[in-house]
Structure 1
Amino acid sequence: MVIKMNTITYSDIEQFNYWWNVSGSWVEEPNRRRGGESGVLIHKDKVGQVFYVKRQEKHIYRSLLFPFGQQTIKRENLAYQAFKKIGIPTPELVYCGVSGDRAILVTKELKGFISFEQWLDQSNNSDANEIALFAVLRSIANVLSKMHKHRFQHNCVYPKHIFINLNDVQQGKENIEIALLDLEKSRKRFTAKQATLHDLPQIKRHTSLTMNEWRYFVQQYEIACDAFFPSLYI
């Protein structure tokens, strides 16, 4: 399975080896899980383009469809394609390849974006940032509701996996972009409600949102998906 990159004209195996051997610094040190190894490095090419290269070896998952296991990156690649089809913003997928027990997934840097986690850490309690926070929460709610309407469950909706670009929101022009990262564990559920009730509590657990801020987020989510989730207010 290969997604060809237009700027590289190598054969498939040469292209795979190119990405497997590129230099860079680790943003996620290789760690052992799922019976294999997985890590992510950041690589800058000769013209200054920045890429994130996920490398995995013997890193598989098992399911009813794949009882003997399949490379985790294959599932993530399918998720990127599915999210693109339904209009859920993600980093641009540049390359995905599998060679034996090894697998690679390469995405482009999200220029101008910052993780929701980092933005929350940098924000203070000023009125301007409170206005921006409510705008960001509204935008995140809209994107997640769209994803859940298609019955997709992200499974790791942590603030570090939600990236935002505020653009001119500080000047009162609400033009916020949201992108979702790390689709490795995403999957379809039987109902949208199942996806909602699994994903949204993760945001609450991994942020320091006040009760007022959390209730606002849930309200905006309910408006976006035209449904009610009383249990989320608890």
Structure 2
Amino acid sequence: MGSLLASLQAMPQEQAFDRWLAEPGEWVEAPNERRGGMSGVQRVRSGDGRLLYRKQQVDHDYRDWRHPLGEPTVLREERALRAFAALGVRVPQLLFCATRRRHGHRLGLLVTAALDGFTSLEDCYARGEQLRWDAALQARIFHQLGEMLARLHRARWQHGCLYPKHIFVRIDTDGRVELALLDLEKSRRRLSARRAARHDLRQLRRHSSWGEQEWRSLGYGYHCIPGHRIEV
């Protein structure tokens, strides 16, 4: 699917939708029923070796005051992927997103590229990798995480599901750190930066086992963003 990837991206949306669905894949998140519909994720391997993820949904909608009749969650995730990237927050590369109606049901499809070389912070801590980080490396990781979250919240964007398993890190051999965020299905803009920050940071505290030093470094990074001071 090397050259096929380029051809799929050049196809009309209706035709590309069916071609993306026809590509063989394996389930990494088996279809489950929620939101009155179904959603699952498959891993797809391209002909040139690229690893892709294909989210497939049927009647998987959310409702808010803008969409009282419901909107597919893949469309909300697509908007968040584009917005986060525009803010300089690394997220998976968006390759395709579309919805269509078929046999009385609304289908949703979202395809992204894998984050090569990245590992979730949850997996890092589960494997004890943080024990091999020196103080300077640990400080860089969490300082950068704080800066990334402040950039997001200053624009009034809330991740909405900010767990360590959705924060990914890549550490190069020279010690350079890169961070990325995944699973933006629940991401949305809030009325204020404070509301976005409070939700995400409280959620992250509840679901992480980080110590005082990690949170101190995160706080330093968070308050480095000009004009943004929220209790971390």
Normalising by the residue count of structure 1, what TM-score does the alignment of the two structures yield?
A: 0.87
- Hey, what does 1:39 align to over in structure 2? 40
User: Percent of pairs identical after alignment?
Assistant: 35
Q: Structure 2 residue aligned with 1:123, among 118, 123, 128?
A: 128
Where do 1:167-206 residues align within 5 Å? 167-168=172-173, 171=174, 173=175, 175-206=176-207
Aligned to 2:50: 49
**Aligned mates of 1:44, 1:127 — CA distance in 2:** 32
Aligned to 2:29: 28
CA distance in 2, matches of 1:12, 1:216: 45
The aligned residue for residue 75 of structure 1 is 76
* Aligned-pair CA distance for 1:50: 0.9
Give the match for residue 147 of structure 1: 152
Whole-Å separation in 1 of the counterparts to 2:13 and 2:130: 51
Task: Find the residue that maps to 1:224 and give its secondary structure.
Answer: coil
Task: Indicate the residue corresponding to 1:108 in structure 2.
Answer: 113
Distance 2:160 2:199 in 1: 7
Q: Distance in 2 between matches of 1:154 and 1:89?
A: 13
Find the counterpart in structure 2 of residue 59 from structure 1.
60
SS in 2 for 1:98: strand
Structure 1 residues 219 and 56, CA gap change in structure 2 (3 angstroms): same
Kindly indicate whether the alpha-carbon contact (under 8 Å) linking 2:80 and 2:187 is maintained by their aligned counterparts in 1: yes
CA distance in 1, matches of 2:133, 2:119: 18
- Which residue of 1 is the match for residue 171 of structure 2? 166
Q: Is the 8 A contact 1:44 1:51 kept in 2?
A: yes
Once residues 213 and 75 of structure 1 are traced to their aligned partners in structure 2, the CA distance between those partners, rounded to angstroms, is: 31
**1:6 matched residue in structure 2:** 6
Specify whether residues 202 and 130 from structure 1 end up closer, same or farther in structure 2 by C-alpha distance, changes over 3 A only: farther
Q: How many residues align?
A: 223
Q: d(CA) in 2 for partners of 1:208 and 1:91?
A: 26
Asked whether the equivalents of residues 147 and 223 of structure 2 are also in contact (C-alpha less than 8 Å), the reply is no
- Taking the aligned partners of 2:129 and 2:53, their CA distance within structure 1 comes to 30
Structure 2 residue identity aligned to 1:115:
S
Instruction: Tell me how far apart the structure 1 counterparts of residues 230 and 196 of structure 2 sit (CA, whole Å).
Output: 12
**Aligned with residue 156 of structure 1, among 161, 171, 189:** 161
Q: Distance in 2 between matches of 1:222 and 1:182?
A: 25
Q: Give the letter for the 2:191 counterpart.
A: F
Contact 2:150 2:225 in 1 (8 A): yes
- Residue type matched to 1:94 in 2? L
CA shift at 1:225, angstroms? Answer: 4.9
Give unmatched runs, 5+ long, in structure 1.
none
Unaligned runs of 5+ in 2: none
Distance in 1, Cα, partners of 2:220 & 2:133: 21
Report which stretch shifted further, 133-142 or 206-215. 206-215
Give the TM-score of the pair, scaled to structure 2: 0.88
